[in-house]
Amino acid sequence: MVNIFRWSWGLLLAFFCLFLVRVFLPLPFANEILIFAIYTIGCNFLLGRVGFISFGQPAYLAVGAYGTAFYLFYFGSNPFVGILIGVLSGVAIALLVGPFFVRLRSDYFALVNLALAVIMFYLFEKILAKITHGDNGLWFLTNMTSTPIIDLGNPSDFFIFTFLLAFGVWALYKYLDDSIFGACCLATKTNEDKLKFLGYSNFNIRWLAFVIANTTTAMAGSLYAVYFGFVSPEITAPSRAADPVIVTLLGGVGTLYGPIVGAFAYTGMKDLISGYIANWELFIGLLLVFIMLAGEKGIWGTLEPILKKLIFKKKNSTN
């Protein structure tokens, strides 16, 4: 537990910067960045720590979103309970498919996940059309009751809630990174035989990491659902399957703050570019290729060493 406090300054600083985004930039943009960052950190953890590349994150996003949506549309009206149910359904699906998926190699894992995303898409669009209303989606913005203290129907209150939630998620991932479990995750990526030799079960570690990552993703899904008050199968469309991977790479694979930087850059670019040219895939694709050719470090991965150098220099001079 001590490790949390050693790094708490960095965490606080990062979220102070994130709060500045709220002050200086419009609210919807800030909300979108927060949710997108939560969405991406699961993928980042899987790719950077466990060595699993996942093109299927939208599947878990959709499960979380639809878990929330079903509750708010059919049963209740409290958005907090809705989010809780969304997260729980994320845990359930990750526990369910995890044992099958984590046995596979990284390349197969990516494709099987993609297949799951496609299955989810057709499941929500066609097969469950009676409950999900197909392409029309579920609208439940008016179903949500306002809750005391933090009213999730109000975008500025929603920002505060998401902000706190994101802080919690980052604290958790920071803790995981420093814990023995985090080290084990890294070991399954680099040398699974050695880890087995040390007496750890690769399977269990991967499964747990898979569940944690996809629960976070499902949480982002339920936040999306509450924020827009609307869910449609479009959320898991195969053409959007690579978004989290792109953002992960853009921010920097395996870095703690990469997802925030990546989400900021990606959402910002999307808004900026789509204002000028309609087909911004061209640009994103070229950017992806460029990042890969430039050394796959991403924005934060490049910045972090430079910043560290600067800070340490300052410390030395004051001492």
Partner 1 sequence: MDTQLLISGVIFGLSIGSVFFLLAIGLSLCFGLMRIISLDQLLYYAIGAYITYALFRSTGSVWIGVLGGMVISGLVAFGVERFIFLRIYERDITFTMIASFGILIAGVGAIKYVWGLAPLPVPSPIGAMATILGTEIPVYRLVVIVISILVYVGIWAFLNKTITGKAIRAGIEDIEHVEGLGINVYKLFTTTFIIAGVLSGLAGGLHAPLIMVDPQMGLEVLPFVFMVVIIGGLGSIKGTLVSAFIVGQVISLGAIIYGPLAQMAPFAIMLLILLIKPTGLYGSKLLKR
Tokens 């004051």 sit on residue? 318
235 interacts with partner 1 by CB under 8 A = no
Near partner 1 by CB under 8 A: residue from 30, 43, 59, 110: 110
Closer of 160 and 237 to partner 1 (Cβ): 237
CB of 285 to partner 1, least distance (A): 3
Which of 263, 206, 189 lies closest to 41, judged by CA?
A: 263
127 interacts with partner 1 by CB under 8 A = yes
CB of 106 to partner 1, least distance (A): 6
DSSP H or E stretch at residue 138:
strand 138-139
106 interacts with partner 1 by CB under 8 A = yes
Query: Could you tell me where the DSSP H helices lie in the chain?
Result: 2-24, 27-45, 57-70, 79-101, 106-122, 129-132, 155-178, 180-190, 192-197, 202-228, 243-251, 258-276, 281-294, 298-318
How does DSSP classify residue 144? P
Contacts 24+ apart (CB under 8 A), 288-296: 288/246, 288/249, 291/249, 291/250, 292/249, 296/249, 296/253
> Between residue 50 and residue 79, which ones bind partner 1 under the rule CB under 8 A?
53
Binding mask 256-295 for partner 1 (x = CB under 8 A): ----------------------xxxxxxxxxxxx-xxx--
Near partner 1 by CB under 8 A: residue from 111, 141, 307, 311: 111
Closer of 10 and 297 to partner 1 (Cβ): 297
Distances (CA, A) of 155 to 169, 228, 258: 20, 10, 25
The binding site for partner 1 (CB under 8 A) comprises 47, 53, 100, 103-108, 110-112, 114-116, 118-119, 122-123, 126-127, 238-239, 242, 245, 249, 278-289, 291-293, 296
